[in-house]
Structure 1
Amino acid sequence: MHVLVIDDEAAIRQILASALTKAGHSVDTASGVKEASAKLVRGDVDVALCDIMMPDGNGVELVRSFRGSGIDTQFVMVTAFASMETAVEALRAGATDYMVKPIRNEELLHRIEQIGSMRGLKAENQALRQMVARERGVFHFGSRSMVEMERLVSKVAVTDSTVLVTGESGTGKGVTARNIHEMSPRSEFPFIPVNCGAIPENLLESEFFGHAKGAFTGADRARKGLFTQADRGTLFLDEIGELPLHMQTKLLHVIEDKEVRPLGGEQVRRVDVRIVAATNRNLAEMVKEGRFREDLYFRLAMFHIHIPPLRDRKEDIARLIHFVLQNLAAGHGKKALELDPIAEEILVEFGWPGNVRELENVINRAHILADGERITLMDLPPDIARSVQKRESPGIEIASNVGLREQLRRLESEIIARALRDAGGDRRLAAQKLDIGLSSLYRKLEEMEANSVG
């Protein structure tokens, strides 16, 4: 963290700064209120260790003035004259903590560590609540490729290795990155996701590294960059292939040197950030084409995890469907809807160009449209039913003058007929394959016979 030591005694400043620097913190000093104000206004100080009584002002008043300015600095007050009244006044002004001279290095470092943990937990709080609301259970993959992917995640998560996650859009690269963070020793500190393709090119440097007040037109106050926000945690760089070459160079330097300099600022700050990057593009090909730095590619791909598309792991589709339905039910405090076996078969056979994200959207839509306690063919988007019908049932003609209900009835009849053929005419076995009761199969066969007679 970036710590500002404010004390009018040079010896004390030097002793405290030395202890903090050895502990890995970025340290700046100020000899009084005026000098401290000039450094605090930049907005990049995490903790200010502030003497109360100084020749040019009072530390408590300094805290009070900056508490109303919107900066996110935590103040720890220091004094040689301890009293309950002074402590209460400092805390009411907005100080986080209070220490009495002489300060032992062990105690100081412990207090700073506590403040760092508190800041990390505060930054994570909202994101964690959203994650818990979204992930109401633990999903277990059935495909070998994803079980292996989970094994790789568990292995690399406990290290500090940079990770590159690749895969098509919608496969779950962001979820994988968050899982790496949650399983890592950094889990108590911030997980900061950023879509590299969504930031205008002229704002990239400011967003990544922060800026000082007045660094450019409109910079009316200092701002912390993403690296500083993610200090001691994880920075997730989604769509890393969208970064322009000049930013790739700067990113590489930060990853290697672990230092950032805000735009328009003079103070270099050390940061401890783990990088997880993701892309749906072929970075190796981009390197050959000169559109991505080779050294950055090898630095990011120190540990590579590829997520296969949903169409290549059909074993996971039915599990995902029921997982989403369970979460939807939990969110509404209701019993999970059932899924008609024929509708499930269609969903499993669909190609899912949008992968897991598209599947979730389709199930959410069907959950809204469903009448009663079961999702049927009628609740699925027509294009999904038609695409599977064309591929698996070429004998059923798609006619423009035939309504959707009739086309779906024909498709259902074809699936039942195929199940009977596969079961050698054994209706009990066919019902098991279709995952419906034997009485339901007899009823459907009667309906099919009535429709054929009609």
Structure 2
Amino acid sequence: MHVLVVDDEAANRQILSTLIARTGYSVDVAAGVKDASDKLSKGDVDVALCDIRMPDGDGIELVHKFRTSGSGIDTQFIMVTAFASMETAVEALRAGATDYIVKPINEEDILHRLAQVEVMRGLREENKALRRLVAGDRSLYKFTSPAMQEVDRLISKVAGTNSTILITGESGTGKGIAARALHEQSPRAAFPFIPVNCGAIPENLLESEFFGHTKGAFTGADKARKGLFSQADRGTLFLDEIGEMPMHLQTKLLHVIEDKQVRPLGSEQTRSVDTRIIAATNRNPEEMVKEGKFREDLYFRLSMFHIRMPPLRERGSDINGLIQHLLHSAGGTWAGEAMKLDADAHDILQSYHWPGNIRQLENVVNRANILADGGCITLADLPPEVTRHSTSPSSIGTVVAQEGGLRDQMRQVEASLIAKALSDAGGDRKDAAQRLGIGLSSLYRKLEELSDLVNTDHG
């Protein structure tokens, strides 16, 4: 993740950039609004840690420029202010900021906020990946695995009811896409589908976000605002990462589900809402109940109907179709022909356990599509974490149980083939690349990767 620190004080920039760099994030700095604007315009900043008051402009205006003015930039903003007020917070969040922090900054707090943004970005990317798989089709699943056919069956059965639904499953399994499919296949499809990440809203603004507020309910509330429940009236409210919701809000959520009434902050009157609730979590809700982190009565109310999204490792028969779809979506070609996958690489991808599920599969396929030469993706184009842990048979022999054994054998085989080609070509690398059927750039890359095994001294 690439972080931009925006602060007019050099000491603050130094302290924050050093702290962030130590965590492994790439970091850049900007001394003011103009400098930051130039760097943000490049489109490669994932999150900006931005001071609000600077000599050459206002940080909130910077947020507005890049988050709500159609710039197309997907940077997330965490605002930093020395002036803690509800008015400032609301203004920043309305402008499009993700979060805000009050000075003096606590190191643990800032790293926690950055980690939250990283998780949020990951969820958005996985949802984009999954949407690409089902683009243009209201039927979510066309997979062959029994596990996914069962999910499809459950969705079709419950979509037309008003039942609350709990979707569980690992990150990347498609919980958000399942929720959207439930909405689109329901009688509520013509009304709003409102998704909200329960862990991404600052706790002191949660009630206002969910239930709304009246004009003057707090400093900065210059006009009345509908909450999420009212915005989703007659439609669906999707509560993603429900396990991150604070206990006091869980109590109020339970009352809304049971009474179908909300009371905005600052109001003495309740309003009726007809909102369907779909919740999702990648955590074990039963364990959270046992640990006292989740209300048991709310858990039972939400899980009137439970859908478990299976991880990719339980959907072996779907993997080949997903790979072919992703290759097609990536648009990779060689001499006008679509990119192909050789048998060994296919077996590796088919047998890998995919801890990151569909998002990881998409990343691996896209990476391989970029690296591959000659119109065919091979083992050498797959990342080490995939080949190292594979249990697939390969063309070089039987499975080696030790971690890294298969990769080591493949490196030895590649090194031997390259060494022989170089020898036969008299050291001419262009000729050797042609003999191997790969591009010259690929040969140079492989020589660098196998430098400990290949002797390139050929006269």
**Which whole-Å CA distance do the structure 1 matches of 2:403 and 2:178 have between them?**
42
Identity over aligned pairs, percent: 62
Between the aligned partners of 1:382 and 1:254, the Cα distance in structure 2 is 49
Deviation at 1:406, TM superposition (A): 4.2
Q: 2: CA distance between counterparts of 1:410 and 1:194?
A: 54
Over residues 286-333 of structure 1, what are the superposed CA-to-partner deviations in whole Å (9 max), with x where a residue is unaligned?
222222111111110000111122112212211221222233339xxx
Distance 1:276 1:408, change over 3 A: farther
Question: Cα distance, 1:232 vs. partner?
Answer: 1.1
* Deviations 1:93-150, CA, capped at 9 Å, x for gaps: xxxxxxxxxxxxxxxxxxxxxxxxxxxxxxxxxx99x957972566522211211111
Partners of 1:305 and 1:287 lie apart in 2 by: 18
Report if aligned partners of 1:377, 1:408 keep a CA contact under 8 Å in 2: no
Per the alignment, residue 282 of structure 1 pairs with 284
Counterparts of 1:140 and 1:346, CA distance in 2: 23
Matches of 2:338 and 2:224 in 1, distance apart? 49
How far the C-alpha of 1:191 sits from its partner, in A, is 1.0
SS in structure 1 of the partner of residue 238 of structure 2: strand
Deviations 1:382-419 (A, max 9, x none): 221122169972189958x97975466899xxxxxxxx
- 1:378 maps to 380
Are 1:394 and 2:396 an aligned pair?
no
Q: Distance in 1 between the 2:353 and 2:240 partners?
A: 25
Q: Aligned partners of 1:153, 1:216: CA distance in 2, in Å? A: 42
Structure 2 residue identity aligned to 1:199: I
Which amino acid counterpart does residue 205 of structure 2 have in structure 1? L
Larger radius of gyration: 1
**Residue 205 of structure 2 is aligned to residue 203 of structure 1:** yes
Instruction: Considering Cα pairs closer than 8 Å and 6+ residues apart, tell me whether 1 or 2 has the greater RCO.
Output: 1
Give the deviation of 1:367 after TM superposition: 2.7
TM-score after normalising by structure 1: 0.56
Alpha carbons of 1:383 and 1:207: their partners in 2 closer, same or farther (altered >3 Å)?
Answer: same
Aligned residue runs from structure 1 range 275-354, under 5 A = 275-329=277-331, 336-354=338-356
Task: Check conservation: 1:340, 1:375, Cα contact below 8 A.
Answer: yes
1:393–1:229 Cα change, 3 Å: same
More displaced 10-residue stretch of structure 1: 145-154 or 215-224? 215-224
Pair 394,199 (structure 1): closer, same or farther in 2 beyond 3 Å = same
Segments of 5+ residues of structure 2 without an aligned counterpart are: 1-126, 418-436, 438-459
Question: Residue 195 of structure 2 corresponds to which residue in structure 1?
Answer: 193
Residue 225 and residue 409 in structure 1: after superposition, are their counterparts in 2 closer, same or farther (change >3 A)? farther
The answer to whether the Cα contact below 8 Å between 2:347 and 2:392 also exists between their aligned partners in 1 is no
**Cα contact 1:396–1:410 (8 A) shared by 2:** no
Task: Determine helix, strand or coil for the equivalent of 2:279.
Answer: strand
Partner of 1:249: 251
Q: Give the counterpart of 1:269 among 268, 271, 274.
A: 271
Contact 1:171 1:308 in 2 (8 A): yes
Paired with 1:254 and 1:397, the residues of 2 have a C-alpha distance of: 52
The correspondence of residues 83-94 of structure 1 with structure 2, limited to 5 A, is none
Question: Could you tell me how far 1:379 is from its partner in structure 2?
Answer: 2.3
Q: State TM-score, norm by structure 2.
A: 0.55
Equivalent pairs counted in the alignment come to: 283
**Paired amino acid for 1:363:** V
Asked if 1:172 is matched to 2:170, the reply is: no
Deviation sequence 1:228-251 (CA, Å, 0-9, x none): 111111111111111111000000
Question: Are residues 1:158 and 2:164 paired?
Answer: no
Would the alpha carbon gap of residues 238 and 262 (structure 1) be closer, same or farther in structure 2, given more than 3 Å must change?
Answer: same
Residue aligned with 1:198, SS: coil
Shift of residue 268, structure 1, vs aligned partner? 2.3
Aligned-partner Cα distance in 1 for 2:187–2:253: 23
Match of 1:365 in 2: 367
Shift of 1:378: 2.6
Q: Which amino acid aligns with 1:135?
A: A
Q: What root-mean-square deviation, in Å, do the aligned CA atoms of Structure 1 and Structure 2 show? A: 3.5
